[in-house]
Amino acid sequence: MRIVLTGGGSGGHIVPLLAVAHELKQLRPDCETIYIGQKGDSLADIPANDPSIDKVYTVRAGKLRRYHGEGLKQLLDLDTGAKNVRDVGFTVTGMAQSYRLLRKLRPDVVFVKGGFVGVPVGLAAAALKIPYITHDSDALPGLANRIIARWARWHAVGLPKEIYSYPPSNTVTVGVPISREFRERDQAEIMALKEKLGFPADSKVICITGGGLGAARLNDAIVRTSGELLADPQVVLAHLTGRNHEKQVSQQYDELLTDTARARVEVVGYTTKLFEYSAVADVVVTRAGGTSIAEFTAQGKACVVVPNPLLTGGHQSKNAQALAERQAVRIVEETEIKQDPRNLSTAVQSLLDDPAMRIALGQKLHQLARPDAAKRLAMLLLEQVPDTAGKDKQKTLETDNETPRTS
């Protein structure tokens, strides 16, 4: 049995994809899992180093640059227009590469998590009549999945399927696939993790994350107000800045804080152990991507959510609003941060000072958890494979298994 998984461009696409790959291996150890990523993806090393992925390939893909609320302004921007035209060529090239690759691999089914690499791979699968399943974590489906939606066997979604525009007959709510490590922990486990991370047992931990690529505006607001947050000697900041921001943010803390305060700030660029930092957190400060929210939902964490207002369709704002209506998160808009970054630190501090509110937020968020999403998606993928899958391909598999893991 051979299953191709594709997606990328952000941790919000890659992390769920790897969770599904892990479940596939648990359900069918004989299943060969192949990842197809976008050439030049800065996070491509993550699936390449994951033990649940057997082989890795890359193809070209293009990005259509659109910014929510920019309107006509972005259409008149020459640099944006030039890059969009260039990336049309990348997509055409990627379609040809994907067609050749899928014809060679002959997968039984393809899983498209999202990201622009899903367009050439999905279209190639459709041309070769290979069944594929898409997945959307956010309230608003991504453009890549909408482009290839017409030929998808199933549309798996993270939220109630009624809010999506996909045909109800082949749309199914499964939740958002996340690692099994994101779960509620008892006090003994939290204390053990605090010791492992080097945090005092009585510390109040604030975990800040803008995703695998980071969020510059969120990082800046936390750094600028860190002195006020650290005025409480029990407060520790676990600041996950994103891979490209670690050095800059670390230097800013060095310049801004006293040595005593700086010792209570841990700066991490990218880690596969986010679940450890968030597990010990009293408050989590995060963007409103569907995957991140699902992770903290599983842990039942009190979250201050800062949705990115510029992302296409304002999907993060829609995610955050859906949670706020259930009184499950505290929202701070980016416009509020621009007016005064202390609006963010004040929201965080208010939760630190109110344990009852923290518990209530965490409990209401946890009620929305779907911890079996990755397994449900893996089972849906396996259901697309005929019972005889693998038997007719044994010779091909034996030959292909001699090729390098990364291509």
Q: Establish whether domains 2-178+372-400 and 187-366 are of one fold.
A: yes
The low-confidence residues of the chain, meaning pLDDT below 70, are 63-87, 311-313, 387-407
Q: What Cα–Cα distance (Å) separates residue 315 from each residue in 7, 27, 162?
A: 18, 33, 16
Residue 42 has what pLDDT?
A: 81
> For residues 332 and 314, what is the distance between their CA atoms, to the nearest angstrom?
15
Q: Are 173 and 158 in contact (CB under 8 A)?
A: yes
Report pTM: 0.83
Domain ranges of the chain: 2-178+372-400, 187-366
Instruction: Give the tens place of pLDDT for each residue, 238-253.
Output: 999 998 899 999 999 9
Per DSSP, the residues of 299-321 read: HT--EEE---TTSGGGHHHHHHH
Class (C level, CATH) for 2-178+372-400: alpha beta
Tell which CATH classification among 3.40.190.10, 3.40.50.2000, 3.40.50.1860, 3.30.70.1400 matches the domain 187-366.
Answer: 3.40.50.2000
Residue 393 has what pLDDT?
A: 44
Place of tokens 């009293």: 282
Closest CA to 374 of 1, 5, 2: 5
Instruction: Give the tens place of pLDDT for each residue, 147-184.
Output: 999 999 999 999 889 989 999 999 999 999 999 999 99
